[in-house]
Amino acid sequence: AAQKIRLVELGQEMDDVFRCVELQATGMQILSTLLKTSTTKASLNAFVDGADRFADVFKFISTNYRRPITLRELAKVACLSVSAFHRSFKAATGSSPACFLRGRRLEEAKRLLITTDSSLAVIAERLGYSDQFAFSKSFTKFCGQNPRSYRANARLEEADI
């Protein structure tokens, strides 16, 4: 009984760790966007204001990126019309909502490719892509190499360390 309780506690601790990692990944995505798009004090201020304004949207994306998410859903979370949300989000982050979501998914894809042996089809499904082809095409465009090559190269680099 004590072992079962400890296993449940460990599971809860792991869930907490995963949530923390997801929040850190979202923060890193935001920081990455900031560094890529904000070159002036005014754009930096706009980004920070946008990060505050869209905190609920970032949280929603972090929680739901594994499933298809519509622009309408994101706009609803932000309490804006679709067009106002799209315009405001892009102005604040330097990225469209679709690009931001795709980036979040592909960062997770990179992690899964390195840390699991899951097939591309399984990873694509876990990240909300309609099929493996759509996932592979998006990954290749974002990362400059296809998912299989990325996995192989990452594992070779890991073996060299």
Please give the distance of CA 93 from its chain centroid, rounded to a whole number: 14
Q: Letter for the amino acid at 147?
A: P
pLDDT value, residue 43: 56
Q: What does DSSP assign to residue 1? A: -
Sign (positive or negative) of CA dihedral 56, 38, 86, 23? negative
Average pLDDT of the residues of the chain = 80
pLDDT value, residue 141: 94
Regions of the chain with pLDDT less than 70:
1-52, 161
pLDDT value, residue 160: 73
Q: Of 15, 12, 11, 34, whose CA–CA distance to 23 is shortest?
A: 15
